[in-house]
Amino acid sequence: MFQYPKIKQAFFSILAVLLLNCLIEAQEIPDRPEKLKFSPLVYDPPSPVDYRVELPSGAVVYIYPDRERPLIDLSVNIRGGSYLDPDGKEGLASLTGYLMARGGIPSKQADELDEELDFFAARLNSSFSGLNGSVSLNLLSKDVDRGFEILRAVLAAPSFQQDKLDLRKAQIIQQLKKRNDDSSSIESRERNFLAYGDDFWFNRHTTSASIQNIRREDLLEFHHKWVNPKNFIISVSGDFDRNQMLKRLNRVFDSWPHGSQLAPEVPQQQKYGRPGVYIVDKDVNQGRVSIIMPGIRWDDPDYYAIQIMNDILGGGGFTSRITNRVRSDEGLAYSARSSFPGGAFYPIVFRAGFQSKSRTVVFATSIVIEEIKKIIEEPVEAEEILTAKKSFIDTFPNNFSSSAQVVSQFASDEMIGRFSKQPDYWDKYRDRIEAVDIAAVQRVAKKHLNFDKMIVLIVGQKQSIFDGHPDHPIDLKKLTSGGVSELPMRNPLTMQPEK
């Protein structure tokens, strides 16, 4: 028989304990949100050595088993790119990369291969950019054996079907005709000419003639010369056993049928342009502006201080000075910002940029220049530097948010030499950001924001830009010490200046 009095007594005893706990907890709850205290979060980044394997073929693999989903993600990064294009055949690397996965393999025509990949819901892509190539494969883990057979064929023996090559060449020539349609492509192109010089490999543009000069034999030669395991850096993650996957990769990259030549270093020669204002006359509603100065590489000792400085200046979105002045305070542009990246293989220039109505282009440009001068001449505020450092440190774990991202990041580090030069890069990253102080920000601003070498590039309606705004009569010619020069539009098919 139940003993109700005892149960009742136990119930009230428990209730009393709960009420007491609530009173204690209530006393510990602060009266304002900013008084809340949280235990510090500790995050240790993964170490590349835990994922790195060198295959007998010479390829380097970053491998991360992850059984969360029945998928496998693999990317073969290839050293080499369009900097290896022969003179007169600019576009060869790009064509080779595009057609490796789209031009058939010995056992299947291109369309048949596409159908098979669609059948088992696999994604296969290939490309070559300026600096490197990539072949990527995403598929269900149950299809890995067939998927890797196709991967081997695409990497080792692509067919480069003539009909697919002809089609792609025709598509590229049609795309070239549209080069001058968008002011952003004009601005990007001319900025690179001014920043790196006409003879820099990056400025050897594809032309109609260079595309027409390329034959199927050229693709085969480029492929046989550079696409080999000694130039491969592989990232693979997903649903697999680590040892079994390494055995599969050994089979895929073993007994390569051609070549073992290492891709040469990316050329470094650059010729920075003469300081001044350069304008390209184009009939558009808004002028597009870039302010550039010489840049740095990622391994520059000042890299961390420069990242904080740039975040405060214009890289930090709505907390940055350029954005606040140009967009929020004056309403002159929807977006205004700056970037000061560390180049992977060669220095990449500092750039501040925005779009504004033609008549306010000069006024907005003068404001950006004011902010650059200010960060050179005056120490930043303590709150600004704390906000910038917090942004870098708080978002740091995002670099490793998934298994695929972990191995992809480490493969990228291997490609640019970060693993060999600074194997502790990620371990020390936050400490190096945290060590940046106000004095360091001003020091690197004075050192690296060089007004004697400042170039201002404007693409827009020349006369309207020169006329300016009646409320802000600023002389465009006085923005720099180098005067104003007009750049001719380039012929989209030849890249030669038009008279």
Domain definitions of the chain by residue range: 48-253, 276-486
Determine how β-strand 484-486 pairs with β-strand 276-281.
parallel
Residue-level pLDDT at 310: 99
* Residue keyed to tokens 């204690």: 24
Residue-level pLDDT at 37: 75
Task: Render 343-361 in DSSP notation, one character per residue.
Answer: ESSS-EEEEEEEEEEGGGH
Quote the CA–CA distance of 319 and 412 in Å, as a whole number: 30
Residue 108 DSSP one-character state: B
Residue count of the chain, please give it.
499
What are the backbone dihedrals phi and psi of residue 319, each rounded to the nearest 5 degrees, phi first? Answer: -90, -5
What are the backbone dihedrals phi and psi of residue 31, each rounded to the nearest 5 degrees, phi first? Answer: -85, -10
Q: Residue 11 contacts by C-beta under 8 Å, 6 or more apart in sequence?
A: none
Residue type, 425: Y
Judge whether 358 and 365 are in contact, CB under 8 Å: no
* Residue keyed to tokens 């040469």: 264
Judge whether 296 and 448 are in contact, CB under 8 Å: yes
For the CA atoms of 462, 464, 470, 474, the dihedral, rounded to the nearest 10 degrees, stands at -10
Residue-level pLDDT at 259: 85
**Cα-to-chain-centroid distance, residue 406:** 16
Structure tokens at 267: 């050329």
Residue 133's beta-bridge partner residues? 78, 128
Could you tell me the pTM of the whole model?
Answer: 0.90
**H/E segment holding residue 364:** helix 361-377
Residue-level pLDDT at 79: 98
Residue type, 196: Y
Judge whether 372 and 449 are in contact, CB under 8 Å: yes
The answer to whether 48-253 and 276-486 have equal CATH topology is yes
Residue-level pLDDT at 36: 72
Domain spanning 276-486, CATH architecture: 2-Layer Sandwich (3.30)
Half-sphere exposure of 124 (CA within 13 A, CB side): 30
Q: Residue 298 contacts by C-beta under 8 Å, 6 or more apart in sequence?
A: 341, 342, 343, 344, 416, 418
Helices (H), 241-314: 242-253, 303-310
* Residue keyed to tokens 């290896």: 84
Residue-level pLDDT at 3: 47
What are the backbone dihedrals phi and psi of residue 299, each rounded to the nearest 5 degrees, phi first? Answer: -95, 15
Residue 105's beta-bridge partner residues? 108
Quote the CA–CA distance of 129 and 304 in Å, as a whole number: 27
Quote the CA–CA distance of 274 and 487 in Å, as a whole number: 13
Residue-level pLDDT at 481: 82
Residue 118's beta-bridge partner residues? none
pLDDT in tens, the chain (499 residues): 444 444 455 555 665 656 656 555 555 667 787 777 767 778 999 999 999 999 999 999 999 999 999 999 999 999 999 999 999 999 999 999 999 999 999 999 999 999 999 999 999 999 999 999 999 999 999 999 999 999 999 999 999 999 999 999 999 999 999 999 999 999 999 999 999 999 999 999 999 999 999 999 999 999 999 999 999 999 999 999 999 999 999 999 999 999 889 999 999 888 999 999 999 999 999 999 999 999 999 999 999 999 999 999 999 999 999 999 999 999 999 999 999 999 999 999 999 999 999 999 999 999 999 999 999 999 999 999 999 999 999 999 999 999 999 999 999 999 999 999 999 999 999 999 999 999 999 999 999 999 999 999 999 999 999 999 999 999 998 898 889 999 999 999 999 999 7
Residue-level pLDDT at 4: 42
Q: Domain 48-253 has what CATH class?
A: alpha beta
Structure tokens at 246: 């390494």
Residue type, 339: S
Q: Which of 268, 320, 273 is nearest to 294 (CA)?
A: 273
Residue 497's beta-bridge partner residues? 490
Structure tokens at 461: 């309606």
